[in-house]
Amino acid sequence: MTKSQPDRRITLNDIISQLIALQKIDLQLDTIDNTVKQKQELLDQQAAQLAQRESDIDDLHEQISALEQERRTLELELNEELAHVKSRQSKMMQVQTGREQTALLKEIEDGKQGIKEKEEKMVGIMEEVESLTTEIARQQELAKEEAALLQKETDSTQKEIAAIINSKKEHDSARRKQAGIMDVRLFNKYSLLRERRNGVAVVNVLDGVCQGCFMSLPPQQYNTLLRGDKHLDCPVCQRIIYHLPQEKQE
Ligand SMILES: [Zn+2]
């Protein structure tokens, strides 16, 4: 056996090595894709949080508008009541009988009571508006910080993602090279298995146990695998199996 034999037969070991090499590249590509996805998701989450805060701020503004409206209504009513009390007071000068006087006094007293209640309500509203305004300022400050942070992180993440995608090119070309030297049928079988078996198509069998599904191989199949002269699939998970005892030493 020398290097000068270009047409040597492809052995089972070669095929398994090809599959292992391809899967290694594919798993690296999966890791890259997942990293990009996670980074993007993190940004999306932060953007959603910021959007929620902005929507909360809008709600607070609406609450203030409603309170201001209520206060204006109270103010109008209060002015009417003041005018009414004033007119009752001037009428007091003109009435003759005690009964009329009592009735007017009662009206004035009720009016004053109403004015007092409305004034108290208006003070309450103003206090509420004040605390809502403080809350808005606090939330706006947080939103500002979050927006700045998000912008910064979006910029850096985009750079990171661009670098990752750039590094992916290397793996992509390694993958093309590896796939190019493989038998098409084997490659298709591998691709299908990867799709159906969570990215892992080729697995080791350790002590008779498939490392893909962790089921024991029937003894006869295990013996065949150990002899290493036949291409085998796991009877349970259908993954392509091989035997490399040294792989256990991590
Ligand atoms: Zn299996």
Centroid of ligand 1 to alpha carbon of 236 (angstroms)? 5
Instruction: Note the residue count of the chain.
Output: 250
Which of the pair, 169 or 6, is modelled with greater confidence? 169
Centroid of ligand 1 to alpha carbon of 216 (angstroms)? 8
Question: Whole-number mean pLDDT of the chain?
Answer: 92
Confidence of residue 174 (pLDDT cuts 50, 70, 90): very high
Q: Are 42 and 191 in contact (CB under 8 A)?
A: no
d(C-alpha 85, C-alpha 109), whole Å: 8
User: What percent of the chain clears pLDDT 70, i.e. is strictly above it?
Assistant: 94
Q: Are 91 and 104 in contact (CB under 8 A)?
A: yes
Task: Quick: pLDDT tens for 85-137.
Answer: 999 999 988 888 989 999 999 999 999 999 999 999 999 999 999 999 999 99
SS3 202: strand
Does 7 score more than 80 pLDDT?
no
Centroid of ligand 1 to alpha carbon of 173 (angstroms)? 30
Class of 33-168 in CATH: mainly alpha
Centroid of ligand 1 to alpha carbon of 156 (angstroms)? 42
Angle at 126 between CA 120 and CA 132, to 5 degrees: 140
Domain residues of the chain, as ranges? 33-168, 187-244
Does 3 score more than 50 pLDDT?
no
Does 156 score more than 50 pLDDT?
yes
Please enumerate in sequence order all residues whose Cβ is within 8 A of that of 63, keeping only pairs 6 or more positions apart, or say none.
132
Confidence of residue 231 (pLDDT cuts 50, 70, 90): confident
Question: Tokens standing for 121?
Answer: 């309500």
Centroid of ligand 1 to alpha carbon of 64 (angstroms)? 64
Does 249 score more than 80 pLDDT?
no
Centroid of ligand 1 to alpha carbon of 167 (angstroms)? 33
d(C-alpha 87, C-alpha 77), whole Å: 15
pLDDT for position 247: 52
Does 57 score more than 70 pLDDT?
yes
pLDDT for position 2: 44
Does 6 score more than 70 pLDDT?
no
User: Which range is least confidently modeled, 5-14, 20-29, 128-137, 203-212?
Assistant: 5-14
Cβ neighbours around 174 below 10 Å, total? 16
Confidence of residue 8 (pLDDT cuts 50, 70, 90): low
pLDDT for position 232: 92
Q: Kindly state the DSSP code that residue 1 receives in the 8-state scheme.
A: -
Centroid of ligand 1 to alpha carbon of 183 (angstroms)? 23
Centroid of ligand 1 to alpha carbon of 212 (angstroms)? 5
d(C-alpha 3, C-alpha 110), whole Å: 114
